[in-house]
Amino acid sequence: METYRNPTEVQMSQLVLLYHTNHRGELSVGQLLKWIDITACLSAEKHAGCPCVTASVDDIYFEHTIRTGQVVNIKAKVNRAFNSSMEVGIQVTSEDPCNEKQWNVCKALATFVAQRNSSKVKLKQILPLTEEEKVEYSVAAERRRMRLVYTETIRDLLAKSVIQDDLESRDCSRMVPAEKTRVESVELVLPPHANHQGNTFGGQIMAWMENVATIAASRLCGAHPTLKTIEMFHFRGPSQVGDRLVLKAIVNNAFKNSMEVGVCVEAYHQEMESCRRHLNSAFMTFVVLDGDDQPITLPWIQPQGEEGERRYREASARKKMRLDRKYIVSCKQTEVPLSVPWDPSNQVYLSYNNVSSLKMLMAKDTWVLTSEINKIKLYTLEDDKFLSFHMEMTVYTDTAQAFLLLSDLGRRPEWDKHYQSVELVQQVDEDDAIYRVISTALGGAECKPQDFVVLASRRKPCDSGEPYVLALRSVTLPTHPKTPEYTRGETLCSGFCLWREGDQQTKVSYYNQATTSFLNYVTTNVAGLSSEFITTFKACEQFLLDNKSELALSLQNL
């Protein structure tokens, strides 16, 4: 039987030769970026049936270097198509053909736009079939939401961030003036650099950017740096054959073992043109490795002028946000701690993780039907160190109204006896809020009641057929520490998904990934578990029916 293969999947394998490598015999990251972009573009065009251009690239973390004689394997497939844009997932591995060893190099997500005769093309939808495809399809909508607000989010966070100024405490004898690292280079776009429409390959531009950034980094450290991270960036517009691209790079800040280099790309077509087009900007993080592949301590950077000091301070803020983003967004589900500290700098990423975790749990195809009582189904799922529960029922009420009722956590005590009280701690924005929940004790009257501090994130459907989502996860707040009167409870992932199944008909699904304390409770109370869950869910159904007409005036807000 032939193995299933995604219809948009494209694979590329390249043997790394001497002219692909740097002085260390390692594959140039610029060359790798070109191969990644070509593979991803071919996957996008396979789905669109027409030419596509690179619109953006998410953060890329390089985990392993590739050496001369090794093979690079790149696999790309379309995760989801929107109106005229699509998200392409890319996975890069390397192998040594002599000993069959393999390494993960990096993963990447790129957005491509389909164009025909310079006009955008409406794309057909992707039909996910496997569990992995369903997860990527579902989470792609949340990643797109994060990309659309990325620039504004970063600007707001930089404006609000309190950045410690340590310039005066640094050792001036090891300082390098920032202007010494400045690099400017020009490239002429020729036909080999462009696609069949004459637009410059995004990967080619990224390779040129990596080149000038590497030169800037080497001027700081007096050595050959290694690129570790490229931060998410957007292409603001296309460039064509005949354009001159001016690439500028400078080291913004140097930390103990890493440095941030900022790169800007501008384009003009004729030498006499006075107005240059800003194509994109990016921030790249470099390290310098010793003979044992360990990062060495770097010289400090001396910012010069107001502009230099602004770049210096913003680089410090971006470093913290980068670490938050990598920690929260890139971690495997089992590696994320139950409660993550809440901070304005990680607000967007925690919200993303909250919703995407619930969608990943929802997309799993190993749920087992445990019981069905009064048309309420209870499923369980044992996965790694978690035991998850999923309840499902159909309620004859409007889906948008049910979403409004269930997403108001302050009303949950009306139907859930486990919720004694709910306090709104902070209304973060229209879609996210933080609550403190007091719940009944697990294990009987002799035990202390529990309290939870949870982030509630709600999402409306991106497309028809998608659910309304209310996701919950624990966070920690300095204003709400643990107290002696309560046992601090934690939830990694729980919440509701609501599907419209017809006029005044809604499928309501509740998911919960159980915590350790709850697992202990389950172990000694297996017999009553199904009955307790179903009784609570039945009360939820009655709550929705009792309030069927109450929120009719609020539906215009959805």
How far are the Cα atoms of 91, 156, 162, 338, 455 from residue 433, in angstroms, in the given order? 35, 19, 23, 18, 6
Please name the residues in contact with 239: beta carbons below 8 A apart, sequence gap of 6 or more.
189, 199, 200, 205, 245, 267, 277, 279
pLDDT digits (tens, 9 = 90+) for 73-112: 999 999 999 989 999 999 999 999 999 899 999 999 999 9
- Inter-helix orientation angle 202-221/29-48, to 10°: 160
For residue 220, the domain's CATH number is 3.10.129.10
pLDDT digits (tens, 9 = 90+) for 411-445: 999 998 889 999 999 999 899 999 999 988 766 65
Residue 44 has pLDDT above 90, yes or no: yes
Give domain status of residue 327, yes or no: no
Mean pLDDT computed over 323-337: 59
Please report, rounded to a whole number, the percentage of residues in the chain having pLDDT higher than 70: 87
Q: Is 218 exposed, middle or buried (0-12, 13-18, 19+ CB in 10 A)?
A: middle
Give domain status of residue 67, yes or no: yes
Neighbours of 302 (CB within 10 A): 18
* Whether residue 127 is found in the same domain as residue 262: yes
Q: Indicate the pTM of the whole model.
A: 0.85
pLDDT digits (tens, 9 = 90+) for 153-174: 777 766 766 555 555 555 556 7
Low-confidence winner among 212-216, 282-286, 345-349 (lowest mean pLDDT): 345-349
Give residue 332's pLDDT.
Answer: 52
Give domain status of residue 332, yes or no: no
Could you give the CA distance from residue 469 to residue 458 in angstroms, rounded to a whole number? 5
DSSP element (H, E) containing 376? strand 376-383
Residue reference for tokens 């609550």: 435
Mean pLDDT computed over 226-253: 93
Which residues constitute the domain of residue 473? 337-555
Give domain status of residue 268, yes or no: yes
Please name the residues in contact with 554: beta carbons below 8 A apart, sequence gap of 6 or more.
401, 404
Of 290, 322, 354, which residue constitutes the final position of a domain? 322
* Whether residue 258 is found in the same domain as residue 405: no
Residue 324 has pLDDT above 90, yes or no: no
If one counts the domains in the chain, the total is 2
Could you give the CA distance from residue 232 to residue 109 in angstroms, rounded to a whole number? 9
* Whether residue 313 is found in the same domain as residue 367: no
Question: Is residue 214 within 8 Å of 166, Cβ to Cβ?
Answer: no
* Whether residue 400 is found in the same domain as residue 308: no
Question: Is residue 49 within 8 Å of 75, Cβ to Cβ?
Answer: no
Of 294, 322, 350, which residue constitutes the final position of a domain? 322
Could you give the CA distance from residue 548 to residue 401 in angstroms, rounded to a whole number? 8
Question: Is residue 372 within 8 Å of 378, Cβ to Cβ?
Answer: yes
Concatenate the DSSP letters of all residues of 497-543 into one string.
Answer: EEEEEETTEEEEEEEEE--HHHHHHHHT-HHHHHHHHHHHHHHHHHH
Give domain status of residue 205, yes or no: yes
Residue reference for tokens 């140039």: 28
Neighbours of 307 (CB within 10 A): 11
Residue 176 has pLDDT above 70, yes or no: yes
* Average pLDDT score, the chain: 86
Strand 226-230 relative to strand 60-61: parallel, antiparallel, unpaired?
antiparallel
Tell me the HSE value of 412 on the side-chain side, using a 13 A CA sphere: 25
The conformational region for residue 384 under phi > 0 = left, psi -120 to 50 = alpha, else beta, is left
